[in-house]
Amino acid sequence: MSESAQAESRPFETEVRQLLKLMIHSLYSNKEIFLRELVSNASDALDKLRFEALSDPDLLKEGADLAISVEIDKDQRRIRITDNGIGMTRADVIANLGTIARSGTAEFLGQMTGDARKDAQLIGQFGVGFYSAFIVADRVSVESRRAGSAADEGVRWTSDGDGEYRLEDITRSERGTTVILELKEDEAEFADVLRVETLIRKYSDHIAFPVTLLDPEAEEPRELNSATALWTRPRTDIKDDEYKEFYKHLAHDFADPLTWSHNRVEGKREYTSLLYIPANAPYDLWNREAPRGLKLYVQRVFIMDDAEQFLPLYLRFVKGIVDSSDLPLNVSRELLQQDAELTAMRGALTRRVLDMLKKLAGENDRYQAFWAQFGSVLKEGLIEDTTNRDKLIRLLRFASTHSESQAQDRSLDDYLARADEKADEKAGQKQDKIYYLLADNHATALASPHLEALRSADIEVLLLTDRIDPWLADALSEYEGRSFVDVTRADLELPASGEAEEKAAEDEHKPLLDKVHKALEDRVESVGISRRLVDSPACVVTGNDALSPQLKHMLEASGQSLPESKPVLELNVGHPLVRRLDAESDEGRFASLAGIVLDHALLAEGSPLDNPAEYVSRMNRLILELGNEIDNSA
């Protein structure tokens, strides 16, 4: 080998340098997590070797006993963490330690708050756990050799965390990886045997490989963890704290999960599942192409990290493991083959998660915390999973016109209970519809003129403001025998509305309606008298067969070409502005004022104007004309 190939210095990628600076100078609140992260990485390396050895048994020819060792040198303030797992080549080291483009570093940096405790909790979540070593170490070295490679193909990576790292080729007799930490002077506590032993028992007792502590003062190494896969133990023998610690190792999350379910199925299908609902959404939750799924084991043999076949996409936030006695794998044992057994397992695991959420929904505050993080994703299920529609619709939560704040979402059962209570109080007929309004955001929804008559009648309206809600609305047909009604549709029927009075009003104001329609015929489908307005002069409504404005805008933004459609304009003929419009004799000013009324109705529902410049021009002309009239009268 040439000298340049044997040893070289390389700069870190820009984001890595930013991250190292934050690690070293800011994130001290939970510095002990470095040991959890490094031991977890070692465990992952052992899992990967065990998996690859299924198709290439020669990878284990140096020894099939997989283990992790931690060695302490108190005098030198040094910790060595060694595994005999899959190891790394020189290229692997450069890819995994020199750049972290695949680990979400930009998102990590974007979520930094300046609060050390909160920021430290993000470390594992964003896959940057290795770099937590620099919280306590002045220098970090990594020595590694890939399983199956020659002894002289080892590599050493060294960095002081100062913006660059050094690579050199070494001879390493054993496969696997050793991480060497040279601790800072004021972090000498982590070179104490008792301190390290306590941390390993605290964070790593659940790891399915033995973790031994090499103490120079002890006669022989001591095994510190139970080295038993937690999910194989009886539920009655497992404490809540053990479940929580296992979750943190599994999900690389510092926060406790909201809830979990540990279940063993026996009979025709035999498998064990341990499923967790996280407390916080991951940074890539809305990336439907991001890796997701459960960890898969077959008879405790690790198969894959992201087995997405066990849960539908709308449950991609669920973490956990599945350990089966037998599953249909392909020849390389890397992929699951779809069959009836796997389909049945998927259905059973999906129902188990939904049952977990149903139970969690009984604790309103905790479920509200879940809904704030994952509610929008769960809504996808009502669109994609018709089999579990009844379970899913009961899990939905909505803001409404009767909510004190957007954070007080309520279920459909709550909505119907309030509606029935009002009917009982008034000794009136039960409300047979569930009213909802689509809007771009909560503030726009609350201010919508479409709500005025419903508010006057004390009828509650659900406010749908998530990006997915236009699709959700199409999936909402009925609940408990009551149909869903979009209050922005042209065919809206209100309780106690008098058809005879409406027909008489239409006839009385037909000349005005025809005149407005003529002035706006290029922009509106028709013009009618509104039954839903009280305080506003006008509103636009959607034709019964047309796309909602929100869905239309989203499809157009995605580049789809849609057939032209125009809204229906409804006028509040009792409003002073509409009476002023009716009294206008000048055709030019009438057309201009009619255009302004339509523009304001579009703006009130959150729709953009097709020609903002023309609107500004109309408003300027109107203001000048009003000014001239005032001057002349003076």
Q: Which residues, listed in sequence order, are joined to residue 167 by a DSSP beta bridge? A: 8, 157
pLDDT value for 633: 63
Measured at the alpha carbon of residue 492, what is the angle toward residues 486 and 497, in degrees to the nearest 5?
A: 140
Backbone angle region of 466, left / alpha / beta, with phi > 0 → left and psi within -120 to 50 → alpha: beta
Q: How far apart are CA 231 and CA 238, in angstroms?
A: 9
The domain of 278 spans: 231-393
Domain final residue pick, 328, 359, 393: 393
Mean pLDDT over the full length of the chain: 84
Domain final residue pick, 228, 245, 267: 228
Give the domain CATH number at 332.
3.30.230.80
Amino acid letter at 412?
L
Domain identity same for 413 and 526: yes
Q: Which residues, listed in sequence order, are joined to residue 336 by a DSSP beta bridge? A: 329
**Contact yes or no for 154/160 (Cβ under 8 A):** no
Backbone angle region of 176, left / alpha / beta, with phi > 0 → left and psi within -120 to 50 → alpha: left
Domain final residue pick, 204, 228, 252: 228
Domain identity same for 209 and 279: no
Domain identity same for 420 and 462: yes
Give the domain CATH number at 101.
3.30.565.10
Give the domain CATH number at 437.
1.20.120.790
The continuous run of DSSP H or E covering 323 comes out as strand 319-324
**Contact yes or no for 273/261 (Cβ under 8 A):** yes
Q: How far apart are CA 517 and CA 524, in angstroms?
A: 7
The structural domain count of the chain equals 3
Residue 101 burial by CB count (10 A; 0-12/13-18/19+): exposed, middle or buried?
Answer: exposed
pLDDT value for 318: 96
Residue 36 reports pLDDT greater than 70: yes
Q: How far apart are CA 520 and CA 517, in angstroms?
A: 5
Domain identity same for 55 and 166: yes
Residues in CB range of 290: below 8 A, 6 or more apart: 284, 316
Give 582-603 pLDDT, tens digit per residue: 998 989 889 999 999 999 999 9
Give 397-406 pLDDT, tens digit per residue: 999 998 755 5
Closest CA to 250 of 157, 190, 171, 321: 321
Q: How far apart are CA 194 and CA 224, in angstroms?
A: 11
Give 183-219 pLDDT, tens digit per residue: 999 999 999 999 999 888 877 777 789 999 988 777 7
Domain identity same for 151 and 269: no
Domain identity same for 536 and 438: yes
Domain identity same for 567 and 449: yes
Give residue 629's pLDDT band: very low, low, confident or very high (50, 70, 90).
Answer: low
Domain identity same for 456 and 591: yes
Domain identity same for 442 and 326: no
Domain identity same for 247 and 128: no
Give me the mean pLDDT over the 67-78 stretch. Answer: 94
pLDDT value for 104: 39
Question: Which tokens hold the place of 185?
Answer: 């002077």
Domain identity same for 259 and 385: yes
Residue 499, Cβ neighbours under 10 Å: how many?
A: 9
3-state SS, residue 590: helix
Domain identity same for 440 and 576: yes
